[in-house]
Structure 1
Amino acid sequence: VGNARFEHHVEKAYYDTDLRATEAVVGLYDQGVMVTKIQKAFSVGAFGVEKNRRLVPTRWSITAVDDIVSKNLAETVKTFSEINEYRVYESVYLDNVFEILMIPGGWSYESMEAWYPGTVWNPHGRNTAIYSDYEGNNGRTAYAQIGGCYYSARLAVCEQLIKERRQATVVVLREARPGYIMPIGVWQVRENVRNAMRNVPYKYNTLNEALSRISSRLEIPLKRWINQGSLLKNILYQRRITDYFKKNPTPPN
């Protein structure tokens, strides 16, 4: 570690042996240090109280930093006004198709991944396997079952909302199609979603219009995504209840 050429901010955090690792990561990100540089320093045990410093496997360090930074950003996102339209962001890379839906509402987040038969997380399956994890406005404490991709995508969407000073309910849908034979790491999820955020989103007045766009881009039927997810299912259910009471108002006492 002593021979590494850290940036000034990283070097300062390294020599501060009383600074907690979480505080170091958040501080460096806020100072504009690239996430990848923070992750490399984290992996060699450069941060934290001196007696607690340890080498960390690269894969774990990437997820830890994505989690720490995005969790901090999400707390800020919650203080902003909600978006006022339905948005769809898109990105395609290495046979990975990303559709990101933003819905007017308070911060909550879901990440869903569909792995086709023969891909690394579904090598012997006959059907496409869909995995999902989500968090409500209070966040989550348990580690996401879908792994580091959950936190990488959360970081990217939070960055966009911070930039706009807005909050939203966000659903990330990813199809890892047969051409994605050899995964190259969770970093590509973060960069893919960042790429989607850089593109001008499709904007709609209704959820149905946004879902229609997403459905036209994905191979897996939208109904299956909804059935195996949580946020979209809840939103659609609540809307049906609201529509019912609009059509059937409670008679006055």
Structure 2
Amino acid sequence: KYRTSIRNFSGKIVEFTREIALAARPVDMEVIFEKKPRGNIALYDEVQPHGPSAPIKKVWLENPKVEPRIEKAYYDGDLKAKDALIELYRKGVLISRIQKAFSVGAFGVEERRKFVPTRWSITAVDSTIGNEIKKKVKEYPFINEYRIYETQSLDNRWLVLMYPSAWQYELIEAWYPNTTWNPSKRQIVIFGDHEFYKGRSTYATIGGCYYAARLATAEALNRERRQAGVVVLREIHPGYIMPVGVWNVREHVRDALRKEPRKFETFQQALAYISGAMDISLKRWIETSELIKDRLHQRRIEDFVEP
């Protein structure tokens, strides 16, 4: 543990921290603490669990090799942080590396740089890049069928529903009893957030997972050069004993969207499949989903056009 101001970039420990974050590969290091580490495991939905901590007395660090594309952005004191994030993503730098560098104030106009808490930096990068990709997606034609993508991992079940529509997106999570964010012994806790074509004006109450899954869905549509409405459903079963971070959401939605989807001719057929594929009843999903309810009950121009 080492405390510093968000705008203080002086001192050996701060310098070492930035070098580690900018490195192209894991760095060997040794740390001497002032006293024995203490504390409990701290759990967050956005980042990996944190264990006991203690004030740092001394640090030894090998000479790290910096990721050259990140290094170039780091030394450009006139490049805005947003532009740096987007440029690095386009050049193929891993999201996780961009997020680490962003958290140590590596990007942006020189005099405005600052440290960013890890959980905020992860969401900021996912949100910024996702918004940029969304702009492209909104220019593409609609998909022409109803699709369902699926994957399972870590006792999480993921299902992604896509349908012909202008861009709209929703993430719904269902936490079973005796999971991290639902200590209840009986009831399943289910909640979600959504956006229509114009996007959101407030931060999603579901947290960083919302922006991580949105990035993954926007990436998939951009690859295909298509536009769609997207609903991501996630069931978190009791075997998921500890949250491992937002990367879990982003990477598993990516995994689902790399697989061949099931295709349906109608929305009702897709919903019927969801009814059999997920443990939670279709009725419960529909009650929670603003986008599914909108799709079921809102009349559209095509409803008045003869086939």
Runs of at least 4 residues off by over 6 Å: 240-243
Paired with 1:185 and 1:217, the residues of 2 have a C-alpha distance of 25
How many positions carry a matched residue from both structures? 246
Counterpart residue number, 1:250? none
- 5+ residue gaps, structure 2, are 1-17, 24-64
Q: Which has the larger displacement, 26-35 or 164-173?
A: 26-35
**After the TM superposition, which residues 231-246 of structure 1 pair with which residues of structure 2 at under 5 Å, given as runs?**
231-239=291-299
Counterpart residue number, 2:144? 84
| 2:107 counterpart of 1:51 | no
Counterpart residue number, 1:228? 288
Bigger radius of gyration among the two:
2
| 2:154 counterpart of 1:94 | yes
1:160 maps to amino acid: A
Per-residue CA deviations over 1:106-126 (Å, capped at 9, x if unaligned) read: 000001000111111111363
| 2:163 counterpart of 1:103 | yes
Paired with 1:158 and 1:7, the residues of 2 have a C-alpha distance of 26
Which of 79, 87, 98 is the matching residue for 1:38? 98
Residue 2 and residue 125 in structure 1: after superposition, are their counterparts in 2 closer, same or farther (change >3 A)? same
1:228 maps to amino acid: T
| 2:273 counterpart of 1:213 | yes
Which of 212, 218, 226 is the matching residue for 1:152? 212
Greater percentage in helix? 1
Identity of aligned residues (%): 56
TM-score normalized with structure 1 length: 0.92
Counterpart residue number, 2:134? 74
Paired with 2:187 and 2:219, the residues of 1 have a C-alpha distance of 34
Does the 8 Å contact 2:19/2:66 carry over to 1? no
- 5+ residue gaps, structure 1, are 247-253
Counterpart residue number, 1:186? 246
TM-score normalized with structure 2 length: 0.76
TM-aligned CA deviation for residue 242 of structure 1? 8.2
TM-aligned CA deviation for residue 2 of structure 1? 5.2
| 2:161 counterpart of 1:161 | no
Aligned alpha-carbon RMSD (Å): 1.9
Per-residue CA deviations over 1:67-123 (Å, capped at 9, x if unaligned) read: 111111011100000000000000100110001000101000001000111111111
Which structure is higher in RCO with an 8 Å CA cutoff and minimum separation 6? Answer: 1
Paired with 2:276 and 2:117, the residues of 1 have a C-alpha distance of 40
Does the 8 Å contact 2:79/2:108 carry over to 1? yes
Per-residue CA deviations over 1:205-228 (Å, capped at 9, x if unaligned) read: 011111111111111111111111
